[in-house]
Structure 1
Amino acid sequence: MLETTGIQRAGTLAELIKARRTVRLFKSDPVPMELLVDLLNIAAWAPNHGAREPWRFIVYKEEARKALAAAMVATYSAEDKEKYGKAKWAYFTHVPLHLLVVMGEDPRQKQWDEDYAAVCAWIQTFQLAAWEENLGVVWKTNNFVYHPGFREAVGVQPGEKIVGLLHIGYPEQIPAPRPRTDAREFLTVHDKL
């Protein structure tokens, strides 16, 4: 079941977290760059070890969405281009704004792990801040983000990792919530020596 009435305002942080949805269907309305920059700056308050801020961002909007779509479709096999190419092209060029979230890959494993965790925290913080502003987001990690041709086409350098491609826009439809498992199912408690 999909809701189409718009995002309901949340009163508390807990309500905002529970209300947020992954949105895949967007209106064609553009996302103002000022709003995007505000959201980028809000998300920068996500926890990150040593305040390293290990992220950078690449935005595709308006006509540039065609270049992103072309780079993505170019990674497909001939069979997948035939099956999915036109539909994926149409989707990518309809989504109002795409944000590639990239991190530098520190050669030290501990720092790499910390930086990856920080960028993931940044993405979740961004999604929550966007939801509060009536914007939907879907965080994609499809196979094309690993393809050398795609990486080169979008300006990702050697030694960088694409942590996600965020599709961003005003929701056309909002999915109904999916159930969550009670945390006690995953909880192990130690209270004795």
Structure 2
Amino acid sequence: MFDREKIKKGVRLIIEGIGENPEREGLVETPDRIARMYEEIFKGLEPPEEELLKCIEGETHDEMVLLRNIPFYSVCEHHFLPFFGNAHIAYIPDGRIVGLSELPRALDYLAKRPQVQERLTKQLADLIVEKIKPKGCMVVIEAEHLCMSMRGIKKPGVKTITSAVRGIFRKSQTTRQEALELINKDK
């Protein structure tokens, strides 16, 4: 799927376009390095290597499961600059559960493609609902966008917070509030 040669040619054009010499010692290998980096950080454009959010057979639970402060990074599709931060994922199983590492793995997969934070938040919540079929789920993502920190408005440290709530988290303010209190505990 990835075309390293095309990426290398494009990076070389960018180097020339900014007025640099692509044959300068420090830049000669840059197109290749960027092509290899893109192959890694955009791995979410390829089908997943293994099934996402595979449920654990024979295990059941029916109370809230919450993972907080899951670090992630992605690339903003508007400027191709990184955005990064932490995600918080809560779900209330309707019997079926997944291994705890499955949730960050799904986040990483969806984040490894040109993205916008709002879509990433929604995609993760929708994937949880589709695969686990919980009573409800909530995804909250807090991220800093370098396209806002280092260019344009130039406001480093600003966090963008997005949320997606499904099922009981949308219907019950008490359940939603419990999850938010757990997410914000000790902040």
- TM-score, scaled relative to structure 1: 0.23
Q: Which structure dedicates a bigger proportion of its chain to strand?
A: 2
Task: Find the structure with the greater CA-based Rg.
Answer: 2
TM-score scaled by length of structure 2: 0.24
Q: Which structure features the higher share of helix residues?
A: 1
